[in-house]
Amino acid sequence: MNKKLANLLEKRKIKDLKDLDPDEKADFDRWTKILSEGEITVDKILDFCKSQISIIENKWKASPTSWEENAKLIPYHTVYSSLSKMITTPRADKKSVEEELDSLLKM
C-alpha cells in the first residue's frame, strides 16, 4: 500500500479497509489505482489506442446503427489508428535495421 494512503488511514484510525463506507472505499480504490500506475509510457499509450480501436470496431460489428452514428466514430478510429502506426512503425523499422545488421555481421 502507498505510504501516504497508509498514513491517511492511520490518521483517521482506520485499521481495516472494510471499515470504510462505500464512497470512501471508492475514493481509496481510485487513489490506489492512480498511485500504482506509475508514469505514462509509450507502451501504455499504444495499449490505450488499441483498446479504443477495438471498442469502436466492436460497436460497428455488434449493433445495427445508422450511417450517421457510424460516421461519428470514424474520426476517433482514424486518430487512434494513426497514433498506433506512429508508435509501431519506428519499432518495426528499427527491428528491420537490426536484423539487417545482424545478417551483415554474420557474413
Q: What is the pLDDT of residues 69-80, one digit of tens each?
A: 888 999 999 999
Q: In the chain, which stretches have pLDDT less than 70?
A: none
pLDDT at 92 (0 to 100): 86
Total Cβ atoms within 10 A of residue 19: 12
pTM beyond 0.75? no
pLDDT at 87 (0 to 100): 92
CB 87 within 8 A of CB 40: no
User: Distance between alpha carbon 78 and the CA centroid of its chain, in Å?
Assistant: 18
